[in-house]
């Protein structure tokens, strides 16, 4: 390729605030130092070529006029991004894309958001569309929700684009557009690390369970007569008759409080308190929101038993990954404990690794134009 632009686009973990981004609550994700690389070159013939290292999707070709249903499997995320840009009134003449991912598929680390945001950012830069980071996030969300069929919130896309090394990103999802500010992460200075446990239980938001949770939250919001479920007061537990809706609302209310508590604990370097908040969040997601699974529960329990200050599932759930706040000298102990528990269940061995907060999507060329503006 000539005149190739190369983008690095991180994955993300959500520290706290699960399933709040579509309920108007605060969320606290961070971009991570595991990423995908997207190489892009402009074309002038109305064609999009995509090469990937993903199994079953090594190459796809489609026109810039692609429509929902024309492309399936993993390539649908790329096609959806092209379609979403057109839906937003932006046109371009074609592009070659080469994607190499260091993010495991189905691990709940936002490989789909990295792909859609990275492609949107690359096309924006190549063709001078003038989109800001929030604009790009909205394009990527639209692609995943309305082309692929996974009704996601906006947290993953904003995390991928607004990530800052050494910081989490606190988002107010009730604002229009959502607002962001950075929160310093200093646990490394106190001998702690954040461990990701990829359960290898495949996670997908394009199935019915995620959509069902959104529908339940919308029903609860309607019954309570409020704009966002995160606005509900404690009287919601009395006003809602349906036990399922009551449980969903209880998670949203308590998780909102946990996000605020987590930010406070991080500002005071109160790491045992932060760990307790993590573990309480997992219990709420398991019992009230019912989005965990046995592999996640075993990972969390084993990590805490082995000395983690706290642990929780991260991401939409139904598989994927857990995170654990762990003293550096106990990383090997936690890894071994989780692996032993998985072996006892005859599950595939989990992938366990340390992550650090990283910068969001950015060009990897000194001579290239700057990354998208805010």
Tell me how far apart the alpha carbons of residues 13 and 32 are, in angstroms, rounded to a whole number.
7
Tell me how far apart the alpha carbons of residues 366 and 260 are, in angstroms, rounded to a whole number.
39
Tell me how far apart the alpha carbons of residues 121 and 119 are, in angstroms, rounded to a whole number.
5
Q: Is residue 19 helix, strand or coil?
A: coil
pTM of the shown model? 0.92
User: Tell me: the pLDDT tens digits for 96-134?
Assistant: 999 999 988 778 899 999 999 999 999 999 999 999 999
| Phi/psi at 289 (5° precision) | -95, -20
b/e sequence 11-41, b meaning 16+ C-beta within 10 Å: bbbbbbbbbbbbbbbbbbbbbbbbbbbbbbb
- Other CB atoms within a 10 A radius of the CB of residue 348 amount to 12
Tell me how far apart the alpha carbons of residues 62 and 79 are, in angstroms, rounded to a whole number.
7
User: Tell me: the pLDDT tens digits for 245-261?
Assistant: 999 999 999 999 999 99
Answer yes or no: 172 catalytic.
no
pLDDT at 367: 40
Averaged confidence pLDDT in the chain: 93
Give me the catalytic one of 21, 124, 135, 156. Answer: 156
Please tell me which residue, 160 or 58, carries the higher pLDDT value. 160
- Ordered domains of the chain (ranges, CATH): 5-183 (3.30.230.10), 184-355 (3.30.70.890)
């Amino acid at each position: 390729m000539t005149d190739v632009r190369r983008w690095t686009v991180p994955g993300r973990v959500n520290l706290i605030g699960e399933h709040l981004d579509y309920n108007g609550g605060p969320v606290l994700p961070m971009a991570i130092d595991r990423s995908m690389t997207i190489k892009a070159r402009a074309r002038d013939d109305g064609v999009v070529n995509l090469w990937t290292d993903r199994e079953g999707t090594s190459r796809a070709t489609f026109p810039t006029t692609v429509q929902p249903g024309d492309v399936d499997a993993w390539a649908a995320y790329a096609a959806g991004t092209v379609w979403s840009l057109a839906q937003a009134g932006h046109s371009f003449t074609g592009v070659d894309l080469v994607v190499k991912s260091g993010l495991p598929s189905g691990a709940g680390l936002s490989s789909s958001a990295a792909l859609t945001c990275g492609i949107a950012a690359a096309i924006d830069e190549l063709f001078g569309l003038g989109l800001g980071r929030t604009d790009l996030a909205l394009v990527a969300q639209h692609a995943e929700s309305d082309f692929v069929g996974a009704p996601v919130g906006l947290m993953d896309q904003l995390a991928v684009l607004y990530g800052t090394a050494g910081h989490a990103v606190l988002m107010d999802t009730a604002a229009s557009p959502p607002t962001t500010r950075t929160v310093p992460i200093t646990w490394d200075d106190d001998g702690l690390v954040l461990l990701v446990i990829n359960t290898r239980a495949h996670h997908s938001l394009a199935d019915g369970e995620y959509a069902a949770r959104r529908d339940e939250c919308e029903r609860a919001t309607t019954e309570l007569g409020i704009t966002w479920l995160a606005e509900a007061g404690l009287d919601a537990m009395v006003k809602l008759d349906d036990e399922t809706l009551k449980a969903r609302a209880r998670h949203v209310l308590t998780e909102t409080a946990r996000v605020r508590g987590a930010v406070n604990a991080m500002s005071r370097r109160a790491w045992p308190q932060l760990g307790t908040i993590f573990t309480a969040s997992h219990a709420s997601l398991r019992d009230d929101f019912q989005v965990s699974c046995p592999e996640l529960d075993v990972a969390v329990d084993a990590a805490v038993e082995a000395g983690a200050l706290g642990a929780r599932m991260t991401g939409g759930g139904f598989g994927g990954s857990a995170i654990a706040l762990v003293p550096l000298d106990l990383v090997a102990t936690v890894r071994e404990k989780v692996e032993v528990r998985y072996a006892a269940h005859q599950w595939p061995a989990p992938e366990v690794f340390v992550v650090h907060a990283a910068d969001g999507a950015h060009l990897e060329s000194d001579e290239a134009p700057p990354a998208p503006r805010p």
